[in-house]
Amino acid sequence: MTPPAIERILFTEEQVDARIREVAAEISARYEGRDLKLVAVLKGAVFFLCALARALTVPVKIDFLAISSFGGHSGQVRIAKDLDHPIEDEDVLLIEDIVDTGLTTRYLLQSLAGRSPRSLGVCTLLDRSVRRIAQVPVDFRCFEIPDRFVIGCGLDYKQLYRNLGYIAVLNPDKNREV
């Protein structure tokens, strides 16, 4: 049953799975013959990371970062949990569930670039580029989305709904504070 918090489904589970396989094929072709380190940002990117990694044909390592925000909506973030291992001389792909203002991605790219990876790219499940403040390079994206609050496939509303297999727009009538 569809939860009442949902206004409409943007992408079904089948569409999400198919698109992730397409992007995984692009990534596999781009990094053919190399090992790839996937760096995922907790928590939202975990579901996308797993689906993407399963569909890649190049050898993959994974590591995780967690960030916390401060300074209200100014986009200031700090690393709350750092990577377990160095990334020096590795091909690194930053995995995000969504790039929105781009401020998080910009900060993380700066931090990761300072660790001398062989290459550094960005792959996101969702791109809400209409909200962009910081122009960041997005090398791989599964879906462009409208300026609406979305849930599912790792994206939450008050920590709920991350486990939905589809991407949906939250019903603003049921959640007026959104």
Give the residue numbers marked as catalytic. Answer: 100
Minimum distance, C-beta of residue 124 to ligand PRP, in the bound complex (Å) = 9
Among 99, 122, 125, 168, binds ligand PRP (CB under 6 A): 99
Q: Of 26-85, which residues contact ligand PRP (CB under 6 A)? A: 41-45, 75
Kindly state whether residue 101 participates in binding ligand PRP, applying the rule CB under 6 A: yes
Part in contact with ligand PRP (CB under 6 A); list of ranges 3-11, 95-103, 145-153, 169-177: 95-103
Question: Treating both helix axes as pointing N-terminal to C-terminal, what angle do 13-30 and 45-55 enclose, rounded to 10 degrees?
Answer: 60
Tokens in use for 136?
């960041």
Q: Is 100 helix (H, G, I), strand (E, B) or coil?
A: coil
Q: Give the number of other CB atoms < 10 A from CB of residue 130.
A: 11
Query: What's the min distance (Å) between Cβ of 178 and ligand PRP?
Result: 13
How do strand 76-81 and strand 119-127 relate by DSSP bridges? unpaired
Contact status, residue 139 vs residue 110, Cβ threshold 8 Å: no
Smallest gap, in angstroms, from Cβ of residue 153 to ligand PRP? 11
